[in-house]
C-alpha cells in the first residue's frame, strides 16, 4: 500500500463510506484501509500516519467517536 493517496481517491472513499473521518471535515485525519491518514502540507493528498504518539491519539479519538455514535444511536442522552 502506498504511503500517499491522491485527494480524489480519498474524497471518493469518504463519499462511498469506505473512509472514516476522525473529526468533522475532509481535511481532518481519517481511518481508511486499516490505517490512519492525514492531509499533506500542500493539501493535495493524504499521507499515512506513522508517528506512534499521533497513532495513539488517533486510535483513542476513533474509539471515543464510535462510543459517542453508538450512544447516540441507542438514544442515550449522554
pLDDT (tens digit per residue) in 11-30? 999 999 999 999 888 899 99
- Whole-prediction pTM: 0.84
pLDDT at 78 exceeding the cut of 60: no
Give per-residue burial for 22-51: e unless 16+ CB within 10 Å, then b.
beeeeeebbbbeeebbbbeeeeebbeebee
pLDDT at 5 exceeding the cut of 60: yes
Amino acid at each position: 500500500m502506498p504511503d500517499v493517496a491522491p485527494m480524489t481517491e480519498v474524497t471518493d472513499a469518504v463519499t462511498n463510506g469506505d473512509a472514516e473521518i476522525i473529526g468533522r471535515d475532509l481535511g481532518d485525519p481519517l481511518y481508511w484501509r486499516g490505517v490512519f491518514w492525514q492531509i499533506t502540507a500542500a493539501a493535495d493528498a493524504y499521507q499515512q500516519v506513522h508517528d506512534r504518539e499521533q497513532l495513539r491519539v488517533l486510535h483513542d479519538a476513533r474509539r471515543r467517536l464510535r462510543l459517542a455514535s453508538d450512544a447516540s444511536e441507542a438514544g442515550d442522552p449522554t
